[in-house]
Chains A and B, each alone.
Chain A
């Protein structure tokens, strides 16, 4: 704002000397061109790498699509094929089993562990434990699965342990025996003290106002009572979050199965829809069918999230004082 100011200039002259003001935008608003220009790159990326594949997936679910890129419209043929496909049915059964198991363990064990850490008197120990549970996460997921693959192999920890204990008859091909394969996959990550979930629960517990905690103690609630009647309702927000995350993980996560069994286990015992989609797309070259499976998975997840939102209406929980 370096205007030459003539001492003798009057305000009116001053105004007249100023360059003509352009149409004023709201204070500090940069030119629209700049805004849109800056948004162009992110938006272009999103359109190229997210929207186009998403819409492509939606479209091709109704086609037969081969690796060369040609696709022919087949309407609901893919869905009809899936409706009658015993492998697909089996995969749904498998993912349901895995899901139930995941919900039973990945929601409860971390909560218990979070509670235990929460009840530690020493802040230093509490921090140490929290770091300790997070530490296994520095190993890439893939490597963890390969480690578990080793543990299930016949040179691995599980078989060796049984042999050491003399229980030769209990030894199985954990990942190749139809009776144990799915269980073996489910138990990866034992004892399920995954750092993620524990931290989330812990954050929830730590957010409970101290006054509420004191009030409960004064009311004479025992530890167990406190946990059941107070902590759990107050962490419902976190529970909801974890339920959604676990569901997404169960429905989409087949990396572990891929590394453990490569192809869906003995027969189709460890095939889940995600893996089946991958096999159809990249192994059997039936890409349209793969998109159809993907679409069904997405619809399921949407339905689940909507239902969950309806059932677990949690806003900020205001405890009654």
Chain B
């Protein structure tokens, strides 16, 4: 009937409007980054006179210059992240396994002692941690970043992996045990293969966390040898003041490593982001 089709038309229109709004929101979200990439190909004169639109010729030397400046930072970030993730996975898997599978004196106390550290946001510990590592003589090294990251990041790993391992059927482990596998063998041959999704999530969440660390490296490192990307970007920024193309080329390059990770493991990435939120 007439009213039915009007209603339907109305709903279709409303639907279209909502979709348009969604598109608008996405557009606004992306615009700064699109601008960044577009400007990264301009030289200063093009930037002055063709602000909103792309300009020809395209200046790829911006990227060459930016890369030279930034490659050390990126390499350092990758190194720190890779080593930290390894440490986190190792500790998280082992400790999570132990907590899940075995009973021993003080298990719950130790466990909650570890988990409770998750509650304290790192920022609050910034000042005393700094003076403490200064006293330990760790300043300005890879260790000063990696060790605290492993220490803090393992907590999430322990939490998630304990949860996971405690859900696995005992039979599987017992079967392995019958075959002569001790604790570590059981973990390696039985536990880890099953835990791959969880390990992936832990790895991604930790990687994101470590990669984006800014304050801690800022206060504990100052030499170019160990400077990571986040702090290096500040230095880089002051070096390229006024050279917008170069500056934005640098910004774009800084997104590439995580972009690669994203491409390789989109689903794990997406799951990881959500899981990271559950950390709180």
Contact = CB atoms under 8 A, between A and B. Distances in A.
A contacts B directly (C-beta below 8 A):
yes
Interface of A: 26-30, 32, 34-36, 38-39, 41-43, 45-46, 48-54, 56-57, 60, 65, 67, 69, 109, 113, 116-117, 119-120, 129-144, 146-148, 150-151, 155, 157, 160, 164, 190-191, 193, 195-196, 199-200, 203, 223, 241-242, 244-245, 248, 251-255, 258-259, 274, 277-278, 281-282, 287, 290-291, 294-295, 297-298, 301-302
B273 A195 contact: yes
Interface string B66-86: 000000000000000000000
B127 A139 contact: no
Contacts of B262: 135, 138
B15 to A, nearest CB: 8
Contacts of B211: 140
> What does DSSP make chain B's interface, helix, strand, loop or mixed?
helix
B125 A50 contact: yes
A4 B70 CA distance: 67
Nearest to B97: A38
- Most chain B CB within a 10 A radius of its CB, from A28, A45, A133: A28
Interface in B227-275: 229-230, 233-234, 237, 244, 247, 251, 254-255, 258-259, 261-262, 266, 269-270, 273-274
B121 interface: yes
Contact of A278 (B52, B126, B131, B158): B126
B112 interface: no
Contact of B25 (A48, A191, A203, A298): A191
B55 interface: no
Contacts of B33: 136, 139, 147
Given A30-B102, A291-B128, A143 B255 contact: yes
A149 to B, nearest CB: 9
Contacts of B26: 129, 132-133, 193
A41 B91 CA distance: 8
B125 A200 contact: no
A142 B147 contact: no
Given A35-B104, A134-B273, A136-B29, 9 more contacts: A49-B129, A139-B255, A146-B234, A147-B33, A164-B52, A196-B273, A274-B123, A277-B127, A282-B127
Contact of A252 (B117, B121, B154, B270): B121
21 contacts: A27-B177, A29-B103, A35-B98, A42-B95, A46-B155, A54-B125, A67-B131, A117-B22, A134-B273, A136-B33, A140-B230, A141-B230, A146-B251, A164-B52, A191-B25, A196-B273, A196-B277, A252-B124, A254-B123, A277-B126, A282-B219
Considering the complex of A and B, which 9 residue pairs feature the smallest CB-CB distances, nearest first?
A49-B151, A281-B127, A45-B151, A138-B258, A53-B129, A56-B128, A294-B124, A30-B183, A252-B123
Contacts of A38: 94-95, 98, 183
B25 A45 contact: no
Contacts of B164: none
A165 B147 CA distance: 52
B233 A146 contact: yes
- Most chain A CB within a 10 A radius of its CB, from B25, B182, B254, B262: B25
A42 B151 CA distance: 7
B116 to A, nearest CB: 10
A282 B134 CA distance: 13
A139 B36 CA distance: 11
Interface residues of B, number: 86
B274 A200 contact: yes
B6 interface: no
Contacts of B274: 196, 199-200, 203
Contact of B234 (A36, A132, A142): A142
Given A199-B270, A203-B274, A290-B127, A155 B25 contact: no
A134 B261 CA distance: 13
Nearest to B28: A191
Interface string B93-118: 01100100011110000100110010
A164 B119 CA distance: 48
Interface in B23-65: 25-26, 28-30, 32-33, 35-36, 51-52
A194 to B, nearest CB: 9
